[in-house]
Amino acid sequence: MFKDSFLRTSEVKQNNNASDFSVLEKDESFNNRGAREGISSGTLDKEFLRDRSEENLEMLRGVGEDARFLKGFYKEIIDKYPELSCVELKDAPELKFRSSQSKGTRDDLHLSIKYNFSSPLEAYSAPKKNEKLEESECTFAEDYVENLKILEKRLSAKEGDVTQNGRLASALVFLHEMGHAYDFLHNYLKVKPEEFREGVEIKRISEAIKQVARETKRDKASLPVPEFLEDGVQERESRQKYLEEYRNMRREKFADEFACKFILEKIADRNTRT
Ligand SMILES: [Zn+2]
């Protein structure tokens, strides 16, 4: 249903209640222009929450043609969630079937997302059956497709709606990473809009980052060890199970729901306007 025109569908609108996105409802106070004004007001002498949107847009202007789509998308995201303009976007052409979000190092604290913005959007759909892949890419590609299928389910979309639609797939992958940043700001740092205006102590931020590192370890440790990790055999079935469990970890689920909620709201918005 997404295939022909990105996001133009009435079916998904009817399915809107299929997922529970209540996890995103708290801290709505963040969604105001004040946060954005705070970021750019200069009251923050620390780098962490600096507004990076201009340099991000500059970077997006400089990469491939298809980045124009993501540029428009990025503008919509930071318009809705101004606090996310503190996230640095890094073009990583070496990344295929992968993307990542990080908090920086102890000396260089800032949120960043590594993503292959130079890639044609088509490359974000599942590889075609006859598409030749480097051997090193195969496992990443398989995992990538599994992850897209999980997103398909979370969106209550039909099979192929995401895997066959490079634009939607790229948007979802990008939004997923933004979801991690949002989660970090709201649920780990618990930054309030006033703090954007007054400045946040860097010490508290680095403490929060350490806390996330600890929780990440615990999250991973609490997962049952998939067979392929024990014996080194990358068996398809156990990988699939591992991916599904990984994707159900609190923080991954949060990032997915952030992404799906954004897309579904965009669809609902379009449907009411057309
Ligand atoms: Zn993730």
45-64 pLDDT tens trace:
357 778 899 999 999 999 98
Taking the centre of ligand 1 as the mean of its atom positions, its distance from the CA of residue 180, in whole angstroms, is 7
| Over residues 207-234, mean pLDDT | 57
96 domain-assigned: yes
101 domain-assigned: yes
Structure tokens that stand for 237 in this block: 């079935």
Cβ contacts of 103 within 8 Å, gap of 6 or more: 109, 110, 111, 184, 209, 212
Cβ contacts of 267 within 8 Å, gap of 6 or more: 7, 8, 9, 12, 13
73 is in which domain, residue-wise?
A: 11-268
Nearest partner of 7 among 175, 165, 178, 145, judged by Cα: 165
Structure tokens that stand for 90 in this block: 């890094």
Q: Which residue has the tokens 């909620």?
A: 261
What whole-number distance in Å separates Cα of residue 217 and Cα of residue 202? 23
Distances (CA, A) of 213 to 156, 179, 210, 226, 274: 32, 17, 5, 22, 45
37 domain-assigned: yes
Check pLDDT > 80 for residue 77.
yes
Taking the centre of ligand 1 as the mean of its atom positions, its distance from the CA of residue 274, in whole angstroms, is 33
pLDDT confidence of residue 149:
92
152-201 pLDDT tens trace:
999 999 999 999 999 999 999 999 999 999 988 888 777 766 665 555 66
What whole-number distance in Å separates Cα of residue 86 and Cα of residue 56? 10
16 domain-assigned: yes
Taking the centre of ligand 1 as the mean of its atom positions, its distance from the CA of residue 227, in whole angstroms, is 22
159 domain-assigned: yes
Question: Mean pLDDT score of the chain, rounded to an integer?
Answer: 75
Helix (H) or strand (E) holding 144: helix 135-154
Taking the centre of ligand 1 as the mean of its atom positions, its distance from the CA of residue 273, in whole angstroms, is 32
Q: Considering the chain, what percentage of its residues have pLDDT values greater than 70?
A: 67
What whole-number distance in Å separates Cα of residue 257 and Cα of residue 261? 6
Is 202 in a helix, a strand, or coil?
Answer: helix
274 domain-assigned: no
70 domain-assigned: yes
What whole-number distance in Å separates Cα of residue 80 and Cα of residue 195? 19
**Residue 42 is which amino acid?**
G
pLDDT confidence of residue 142:
86
What whole-number distance in Å separates Cα of residue 86 and Cα of residue 39? 8
Number of structural domains the chain divides into:
1
Structure tokens that stand for 119 in this block: 């890639």
| Over residues 96-115, mean pLDDT | 80
94 domain-assigned: yes
Taking the centre of ligand 1 as the mean of its atom positions, its distance from the CA of residue 45, in whole angstroms, is 30
What whole-number distance in Å separates Cα of residue 92 and Cα of residue 170? 14
